[in-house]
């Protein structure tokens, strides 16, 4: 982060025509963005949303309310402009890219073996790395993959402990019996891959999926490009957690876009020390919550950069 | 509200390519908007933000951290495009209108007499009524008036009971001693005007200000025009409360844009039965929180109207 720009933005913020702190969380948010972009008066003109899609071997175990073929069907829906995230990206002027990751070749069932080989993991991380537009000034990473809340629960449990019960939720909406079975499957996976405990990359490799690893690669690339990132829900945050475990501070260029209705998301945000911008009971994935939060960030940044100072406006201070 | 459109929107929502309820609060929000606009696939293309400004006799008692001349200075700032709400209105494509209400003639100090005469109240309500653009498809009402959290606290206390202590907060940021004095002033006003208890219009008249009454007039006009309204913070909600007291259900065409940091706002929203869309510790007034929430509402409406159905997209249901 550019500490000169950060300081200049904070100084500018203090002079704007409003009582101190009257814009609440918007103020720190805009200053954070300014620091990463290296200017005290930034603008957001080129936000990018990237949706990664992958299929999960564990989906064959019936962990989702939807059949696995929905992944490829939803990719077609993204490309045709019919999904929620398409409408939200359009609403906030974001470019939407869709990256389908070998959908015909699901990851392996993590209760039997690692979801991915090391080569698979590298390919997925690279796909994420390559998907980031260097000219973007904001990134949201989203995902589509039937079965991927199961994958994310296993990753979170491996990285933060607490067992499957603490991290397994209803995803797209499984019933009580299916939730118990899903939890047991996560526990089976944790028992199968003890070497993943506390190890970000190994957790991604063992539990997958490709789209989860790709989100991690994209978030890391954004850090190198100084592109701020808005995190989406539980699965995105599980991917991000792998980076944070590998290198504490790796998520300083990110904010939490929203608190989702997936029950373990709050716990995951607490582990990451992130306060969500929105809390609207969304639980769709596909980057939808993060994309909705682009509006909040744009508003914050436009206030910092566009407002008059007390001196410019001839307004009396307190 | 158009119950046919409401039902059609709910039916459409149930067919969209997402798990049931996966867009959380956005779903009910979009259906609500559709009902008021009378179409199952609405769009928001002409949002209007109106800022009303007024001066308060009670400001001479030192209830604010800012001097009274800031009201007229901020009106100039709004007109020059330098305030926070200007940046937010621009961010979300809203037209911004500013209505200054006899700033050279403050209301009377409500601890001594009623803030307004009946003629004053009628003029202020009419100014609000007339300010609404009949072609708008969404309205946010905001305010500027040094001293007006004092006015709003008195109105809320008169309408909902609990005494000044329950409703008086720091406004733009007064210290502990000033907060105690402000609370005492509100109690003086409540003792002076017992006939305002539970009476919406009389509370507006006794405690003012012109800008508060004008917001009530605008919200009422919007109801007649079937223009949905996003409520802003504590002062806007105090104005709205006068309508709700006069006619229960009068705020059915409104949603709460945000929960502000003014402490009594949560209590007021609870009284009105409103759940805020945002909670970002904002406490600026001038319609800023409501205007930021336009982004959330636009996102919600665009999902309802723009998403493909399962059948259209060829996606398998659960």
Check if the beta carbon of residue B117 is closer than 8 Å to that of residue B170.
no
How high is the pLDDT of residue A65?
A: 87
Check if the beta carbon of residue B26 is closer than 8 Å to that of residue A280.
yes
Which helix or strand (DSSP H or E) is residue A231 part of?
strand A229-231
Measure the CA–CA gap between B163 and B187, rounded to whole angstroms.
7
pLDDT category, A43, cuts 50, 70, 90? very high
* Beta-sheet strands, E only, within chain B: 47-53, 95-100, 138-144, 229-231, 254-256
Sequence-distant (≥ 6) Cβ neighbours of residue A165 within 8 angstroms: A183
Domain limits of chain B?
4-41+305-313, 46-296
ipTM above 0.90, yes or no: yes
Nearest to B77 among A82, A172, A308 (CB): A308
Measure the CA–CA gap between B203 and B206, rounded to whole angstroms.
5
Task: Return the sign of the alpha-carbon dihedral for residues B214, B215, B216, B217.
Answer: positive
| CATH classification for the domain delimited by B46-296, as one of 3.50.50.60, 2.40.33.10, 3.40.50.10210, 3.40.50.150 | 3.40.50.10210
How high is the pLDDT of residue A317?
A: 79
Per residue in A118-130, pLDDT tens? 999 999 999 999 9
Nearest to A313 among B21, B73, B277 (CB): B73
| Nearest C-alpha in A relative to B291 | A299
Residue B236: closest CA among B255, B226, B227, B252: B255
Per residue in A221-279, pLDDT tens? 999 999 999 999 999 999 999 999 999 999 999 999 999 999 999 999 999 999 999 99
Q: Provide the token pair at B254.
A: 């409104």
Mean pLDDT computed over B139-156: 97
Nearest to B302 among A18, A76, A91 (CB): A91
CB contact under 8 A, B19 and A284: yes
Nearest to A22 among B25, B172, B312 (CB): B172
Q: Which residues of A touch B312 (CB under 8 A)?
A: 82
Q: Before B209, cis peptide (omega within 30)?
A: yes
Mean pLDDT computed over A277-283: 98
Interface test with B, best of A15, A20, A24 (most B CBs within 10 A): A24
CB contact under 8 A, B284 and A74: no
CA distance A111 to chain B (A): 24
Q: Domain spanning A48-297: which CATH class is it, in words?
A: alpha beta
* Beta-sheet strands, E only, within A12-145: 47-53, 95-100, 138-144
Measure the CA–CA gap between B288 and B302, rounded to whole angstroms.
22
Mean pLDDT computed over B40-65: 96
Mean pLDDT computed over B238-247: 98
CB contact under 8 A, B296 and A315: no
| Nearest C-alpha in B relative to A84 | B303
How high is the pLDDT of residue A172?
A: 85
pLDDT category, B317, cuts 50, 70, 90? confident
Mean pLDDT computed over B143-148: 96
CB contact under 8 A, A24 and B281: yes
User: What CA–CA distances, in Å, run from B83 to A4, A308, B56?
Assistant: 25, 6, 21
Check if the beta carbon of residue B37 is closer than 8 Å to that of residue B8.
no
Check if the beta carbon of residue B207 is closer than 8 Å to that of residue B154.
yes
pLDDT category, A170, cuts 50, 70, 90? very high
Nearest to B312 among A20, A82, A91 (CB): A82
Q: Which phi and psi (to 5°) does residue A102 adopt?
A: 45, 55
Mean pLDDT computed over B35-49: 98
CB contact under 8 A, A299 and B313: no
A293 pLDDT more than 90: yes
Per residue in B271-306, pLDDT tens? 999 999 999 999 999 999 999 999 999 999 999 999
The tokens 């790395």 sit on which residue? A129
Per residue in A180-192, pLDDT tens? 999 999 999 999 9
B78 pLDDT more than 80: yes
Per residue in B191-228, pLDDT tens? 999 999 999 999 999 999 999 999 999 999 999 999 99
CB contact under 8 A, A288 and B23: yes
Q: Before B43, cis peptide (omega within 30)?
A: no
| Nearest C-alpha in A relative to B281 | A24
Q: Provide the token pair at A223.
A: 């850090």
Per residue in A60-116, pLDDT tens? 998 898 899 999 999 999 999 999 999 999 999 999 999 999 999 999 999 999 999
DSSP string, A232-252: -SHHHHHHHHHHHHHSTTTTT
Nearest to A318 among B17, B173, B318 (CB): B173
How high is the pLDDT of residue A40?
A: 97
Helices and strands in chain B, H and E counts:
14, 5
Distance of CA A173 to the CA centre of its chain: 20
Measure the CA–CA gap between A155 and A164, rounded to whole angstroms.
10
Per residue in A106-154, pLDDT tens? 999 999 999 999 999 999 999 999 999 999 999 999 999 999 999 999 9
B318 pLDDT more than 70: no
Sequence-distant (≥ 6) Cβ neighbours of residue A122 within 8 angstroms: none
Q: Provide the token pair at B67.
A: 């001097």
CATH code for residues B4-41+305-313: 1.10.1610.10
Measure the CA–CA gap between B304 and B5, rounded to whole angstroms.
13
**β-pairing verdict for A229-231 and A254-256:** parallel
CB contact under 8 A, A313 and B80: yes
pLDDT category, A24, cuts 50, 70, 90? very high
Interface test with A, best of B84, B148, B235 (most A CBs within 10 A): B84
CB contact under 8 A, A73 and B314: yes
**β-pairing verdict for B95-100 and A254-256:** unpaired
> What is the set of active-site residues of B?
286
Mean pLDDT computed over B247-276: 97
> What is the set of active-site residues of A?
286
Interface test with A, best of B259, B295, B298 (most A CBs within 10 A): B295
Q: Is A142 helix (H, G, I), strand (E, B) or coil?
A: strand
CA distance B261 to chain A (A): 8
Interface test with B, best of A290, A295, A300, A312 (most B CBs within 10 A): A295
Sequence-distant (≥ 6) Cβ neighbours of residue B198 within 8 angstroms: B158, B159, B245
Cα R_g (chain A), whole angstroms? 20
CB contact under 8 A, A84 and B283: no
Q: Which residues of A touch B23 (CB under 8 A)?
A: 84, 282, 284, 288
Mean pLDDT computed over A166-182: 93
Q: Which residues of B touch A318 (CB under 8 A)?
A: 65-66, 172-173
Sequence-distant (≥ 6) Cβ neighbours of residue B224 within 8 angstroms: none
Task: Return the sign of the alpha-carbon dihedral for residues A111, A117, A123, A126.
Answer: positive
Check if the beta carbon of residue A232 is closer than 8 Å to that of residue A283.
no
CB contact under 8 A, A282 and B16: no
CB half-sphere exposure, B2, CA atoms < 13 A: 19
Check if the beta carbon of residue A232 is closer than 8 Å to that of residue A240.
no
Helices and strands in chain A, H and E counts:
14, 5
Size of interface A-B (CB pairs under 8 A): 201
Q: Is A258 helix (H, G, I), strand (E, B) or coil?
A: strand
| Nearest C-alpha in B relative to A315 | B73
Mean pLDDT computed over B237-251: 98
CB contact under 8 A, A296 and B299: no
């Amino acid at each position: 982060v550019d500490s000169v720009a950060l300081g200049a933005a904070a100084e500018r913020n203090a002079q704007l025509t409003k009582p101190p702190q009257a814009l609440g969380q918007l103020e720190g948010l805009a200053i954070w963005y300014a620091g990463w972009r290296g200017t005290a008066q930034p603008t957001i003109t080129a936000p990018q949303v990237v949706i990664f899609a992958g299929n999960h071997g564990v989906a064959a175990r019936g962990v989702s309310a939807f059949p696995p073929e929905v992944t490829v069907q939803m990719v077609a829906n993204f490309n045709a402009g019919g999904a929620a995230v398409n409408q939200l990206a359009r609403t906030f002027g974001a470019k939407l890219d869709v990256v389908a990751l070998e959908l015909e070749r699901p990851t392996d069932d993590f209760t039997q073996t690692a979801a991915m080989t090391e080569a698979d993991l590298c390919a997925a991380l690279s796909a994420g790395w390559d998907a980031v537009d260097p000219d973007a000034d904001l990134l949201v990473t989203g995902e589509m993959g039937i079965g991927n809340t199961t994958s994310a629960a296993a990753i979170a449990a491996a990285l933060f402990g607490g067992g499957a019960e603490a991290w397994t939720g209803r995803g797209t909406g499984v019933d009580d019996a299916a939730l118990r079975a899903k939890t047991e499957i996560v526990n089976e996976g944790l028992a199968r891959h003890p070497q993943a405990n506390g190890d970000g990359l190994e957790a991604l490799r063992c539990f997958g999926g490709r789209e989860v690893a790709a989100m991690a690669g994209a978030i890391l690339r954004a850090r190198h490009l100084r592109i701020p990132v808005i995190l989406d829900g539980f699965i995105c945050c599980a991917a991000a957690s792998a980076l944070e475990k590998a290198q504490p501070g790796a998520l300083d260029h990110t904010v939490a876009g929203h608190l989702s209705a997936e029950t373990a998301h709050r716990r995951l945000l607490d582990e990451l020390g992130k306060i969500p911008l929105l809390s609207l009971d969304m639980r769709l994935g596909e980057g939808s919550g993060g994309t909705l939060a682009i509006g909040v960030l744009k508003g914050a940044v436009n206030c910092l950069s566009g407002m008059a100072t007390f001196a410019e406006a001839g307004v009396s201070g307190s």
